[in-house]
Amino acid sequence: MNDSNRMLARLRALVIQRGRCSALVLAAMLCGLCDVGVAQQAAPSTSSAGGSVTLFQNVRVFDGKNATLSGPSHVLVRGNKIETVSAQPLPLDRRADTRLIEGGGRTLMPGLIDAHWHAMLIRPTPAQAFGDVGYNNLQAGDEATDTLMRGFTTVRDVGGPVFGLKSAIDEGIVKGPRIYPSGAMITVTSGHGDFRQLTDLPRTIGGMLTRMEQIGGAIVADSPDEVRVRVREQLMQGASQVKLTAGGGVSSPFSPIDVTTFTVPELRAAVEAAGNWGTYVVAHAFTPDAIRGAIDAGVKCIEHGFLMDDATAQLIAEKGIWLSMQPLPEDLRLGFPVGSVQRAKADEVWPGLARSYELAKKYKIKTAWGTDVLFSRALAQQQGAILASLARWYTPAEALVMATSTNAELLTLSGKRNPYPGKLGGVEYGAGALADLLLVDGDPIADIKLIEDPARNFVVIVKDGKVFKNTL
């Protein structure tokens, strides 16, 4: 570290303590104290090494990996990191402003991670989603707070104009989870994510963008060159990974489930552009053809995969590809009106759900968990219950491991585009372990239904070392 860097670090620590990060860093930038690169990255981490201290006494730890709870333990959080996990009582740090939480034998576990979330598309109706950006962001901010209060301290957002919301959360303007943003879903003409009507055709290449594209919800690209432009635009805005839709989807009007949308060269262009930035492409795909094309092109994570066959599951496992699945609730299918195109497609996809989970287990595929809730606040309130519904295929411990350390491992694929460097998904220390923690009134490994009622059962919620809820 040279002198000006050291000075800058001290300045940043100071402004972060005072909670006025962006304004003072901007002032510093104008004075020539910091370069533009630093200013761009000033938002994420919100605590300094010497920040506030929280001591959990007498808790039993679910560490995100092991199927058994620890014996009575004591966990010290300093700043935004877990500093110590100890079987011995820890002394109170009299110098620091220590918050003491007497756990009373309750369970301390990592914050939950949802690997397939659309923070901007929960509260609005489909029509509103393309409407007023200010209104949608305010709604999304309120939903983000609810998300955090459900114990979800991190989400991987796989499509939607989420960059502003993420910044507002990171700057402390709004309470919400850490967001790993993809930005606009990239699709082909008529693909999943192309919400245009037939009256919008034909598109003039290079012509006016649609409303959906202008606000960054989803964007059409029909050649490798167009794909590269759109991928790079998402990366420029801070995408930690890029989302393409490689096959048909349920909710979009003109993408039959059976079709493969992008060509392999188009997908490859996306993988190369993302790879140049040290990150990866995630592809929405249901069918064996769509999945295989994506894998051929170098995609590292398949979303859904519900219509995969045995051989495709085997391929996913052999290649070490991630499969991000969602135990989609029946209510989501029933939410599509009878007789609609969407309902017919949902009826096609849902039966594959159970079989794909069986295949994922059979071939020990690296499986992530998410919800994919869209356009329903009521379903979002079931986020914990959707996780608990994994009990159809997994033990409670396996389900909780998936939603903590396994999902956290998936997030590391973002490499240097990871907006929150450090370790997520565990209760450990010594490896830059970020302090995202839940204190559960009971043992969720013995009774996973506890996570269905976070308002009652999550008595303490900590994100980035800050206590957002404490009812003790």
Task: Output the smallest distance, CB 162 to Zn ion, in A.
Answer: 12
Taking every pair of Cα atoms in the chain, the longest distance, rounded to a whole number of angstroms, is 70
Nearer to Zn ion, 218 or 439 (CB): 218
452 binds Zn ion (CB under 5 A): no
Query: How many residues sit in the footprint of Zn ion (CB under 5 A)?
Result: 1
Q: Using CA atoms, how far apart are residues 413 and 298, in angstroms rounded to an integer?
A: 13
Nearer to Zn ion, 119 or 460 (CB): 119
Q: Using CA atoms, how far apart are residues 308 and 305, in angstroms rounded to an integer?
A: 6
Neighbour tally for 54: CB within 10 Å: 24
372 binds Zn ion (CB under 5 A): yes
Q: Which two tokens stand for residue 174?
A: 């709004």
Of 186-194, 370-378, 395-403, 411-419, the segment contacting Zn ion by CB under 5 A is 370-378
Task: Output the smallest distance, CB 115 to Zn ion, in A.
Answer: 11
Q: Using CA atoms, how far apart are residues 398 and 62, in angstroms rounded to an integer?
A: 12
Nearer to Zn ion, 110 or 193 (CB): 193
Q: Which two tokens stand for residue 356?
A: 């794909």
User: Residue holding tokens 């969720």?
Assistant: 444
Question: Using an 8 Å Cβ cutoff, are 144 and 461 in contact?
Answer: no
Task: Output the smallest distance, CB 159 to Zn ion, in A.
Answer: 6
Nearer to Zn ion, 213 or 372 (CB): 372
Task: Output the smallest distance, CB 103 to Zn ion, in A.
Answer: 36
Q: Using CA atoms, how far apart are residues 74 and 87, in angstroms rounded to an integer?
A: 6
Q: Residue 307: CB partners within 8 Å, gap ≥ 6?
A: 257, 286, 287, 288, 349, 352, 356
Neighbour tally for 207: CB within 10 Å: 7
Window 245-284: residues binding Zn ion (CB under 5 A): none
User: Residue holding tokens 């397939």?
Assistant: 116
Nearer to Zn ion, 286 or 429 (CB): 286
Task: Output the smallest distance, CB 91 to Zn ion, in A.
Answer: 48
Task: Output the smallest distance, CB 304 to Zn ion, in A.
Answer: 8
Task: Output the smallest distance, CB 294 to Zn ion, in A.
Answer: 15
Sign of the alpha-carbon dihedral angle for 220, 225, 229, 230: positive
Nearer to Zn ion, 107 or 414 (CB): 414
Give the contact letters, 330-369, x = binds to Zn ion (CB under 5 A), - = no.
----------------------------------------
Of 26-34, 217-225, 372-380, 430-438, the segment contacting Zn ion by CB under 5 A is 372-380
194 binds Zn ion (CB under 5 A): no
Task: Output the smallest distance, CB 302 to Zn ion, in A.
Answer: 12
The CA-based angle 233-212-266, given to 5 degrees, is 50
Q: Which two tokens stand for residue 415?
A: 């490499």
Nearer to Zn ion, 168 or 332 (CB): 332
Nearer to Zn ion, 83 or 372 (CB): 372
Type of residue found at 376: S
Q: From its phi and psi, is residue 260 left (phi > 0), alpha (psi between -120 and 50) or beta?
A: beta
**Omega within 30 of 0 (cis) for the link into 202:** yes
Window 115-134: residues binding Zn ion (CB under 5 A): none
- In the complex, which residue's CB is closest to Zn ion? 372
Residues near Zn ion (CB under 5 A): 372
